[in-house]
């Protein structure tokens, strides 16, 4: 039987740095929804590193679900739920099975916005506004461009390669992402600089 477990070098490199920020930003306990969980490395690492949290990983690719589950199973985690199929652009979350009924204290999405059409950003914000608890937070991680800030050469090259692969892809401007968030009542509250020219952004309901 083929081993479903797959690995991402980028996820392996950044998982601890992200966890350290999550420990500062999030309360000791809660329920988290992960969008675009990919290989499942983050779900397993954060589930182990945040034992007071219940982690619900999801992904739009049905072929990724077995691998996501394999990481948490291998780690023996009981606070990471089985992965669900979720396309952010779908009118309901998740895309199959019963819809979510309980609010999430955090929604986490890493490295999706630049490898998806721009419509996925608006959809992420709309879905987050629907499913976040009143005091919940949306956390997005990845490369961003920022007005008034010189872009790293590596990000400029990465953006060009993404657009060559698909004209609808590309590194997003923080200002554009924040504007989409404001449309649904979410506001950019924190900006954390991360290794390899990435950022972790924290959105919550406007106060």
pLDDT (0 to 100) of residue 1 = 41
pLDDT at 3: 58
pLDDT of residue 17: 97
Q: List average pLDDT for each run of 10 residues in the chain, which is 207 residues long.
A: 72 95 97 97 97 98 95 94 96 92 97 97 97 97 94 95 97 98 97 96 89
Structural domains counted in the chain: 1
DSSP state of 97: S
CA–CA distance, 85 with 65 (Å, rounded to integer): 8
CATH code, 86? 3.40.50.150
In a domain, 3, yes or no: no
Domain that holds residue 20: 9-205
- 104-110/144-145 β-pairing: unpaired
Residue 134 inside a domain? The answer is yes
* 178, part of any domain: yes
90 Cβ contact list (under 8 Å, min separation 6): none
- Taking CA atoms, 169 is separated from 78, 121, 154, 162, 190, in Å, by 36, 11, 16, 6, 25
Domain presence at residue 4? no
Q: In the prediction, which pLDDT does 116 show?
A: 97
191 falls within a domain: yes
pLDDT at 50: 98
Residue 1 lies in a domain: no
Write the Ramachandran bin of 111: left for phi over 0, alpha for psi from -120 to 50, otherwise beta: left
Spatial distance between the Cα atoms of 118 and 184, rounded to a whole number of angstroms? 16
Chain segment 155-190, per-residue pLDDT in tens: 999 999 999 999 999 999 999 999 999 999 999 999
pTM for this prediction: 0.96
63 falls within a domain: yes
Are β-strands 172-173 and 144-145 bridged in parallel, bridged antiparallel, or unpaired? Answer: parallel
Three-class DSSP category at 29? coil
Decide if 147 is inside a domain: yes
């Amino acid at each position: 039987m083929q081993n479903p477990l797959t690995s991402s070098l980028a996820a392996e490199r950044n998982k601890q740095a992200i966890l350290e920020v999550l420990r500062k930003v999030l309360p000791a306990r809660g329920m988290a929804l992960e969008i675009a969980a990919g290989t499942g490395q983050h779900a397993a690492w954060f589930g182990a590193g945040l034992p007071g949290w219940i982690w619900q990983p999801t992904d739009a690719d049905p072929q990724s679900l077995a691998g996501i589950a394999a990481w948490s199973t291998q780690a023996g985690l009981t606070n990471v739920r089985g992965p669900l199929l979720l396309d952010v652009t779908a009118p309901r979350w998740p895309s199959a099975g019963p819809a979510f009924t309980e609010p999430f204290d955090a929604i986490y999405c890493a490295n999706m916005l630049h490898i998806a059409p721009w419509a996925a950003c608006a959809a992420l914000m709309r879905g987050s506004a629907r499913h976040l608890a009143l005091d919940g937070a949306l956390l997005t991680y990845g490369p961003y461009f920022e007005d008034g800030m010189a872009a790293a050469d590596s990000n400029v090259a990465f953006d060009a390669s993404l657009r060559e692969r698909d004209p609808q892809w590309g590194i997003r401007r923080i200002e554009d992402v924040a504007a989409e968030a404001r449309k649904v009542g979410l506001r950019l509250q924190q900006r954390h600089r991360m290794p390899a020219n990435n950022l972790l952004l924290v959105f919550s309901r406007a106060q």
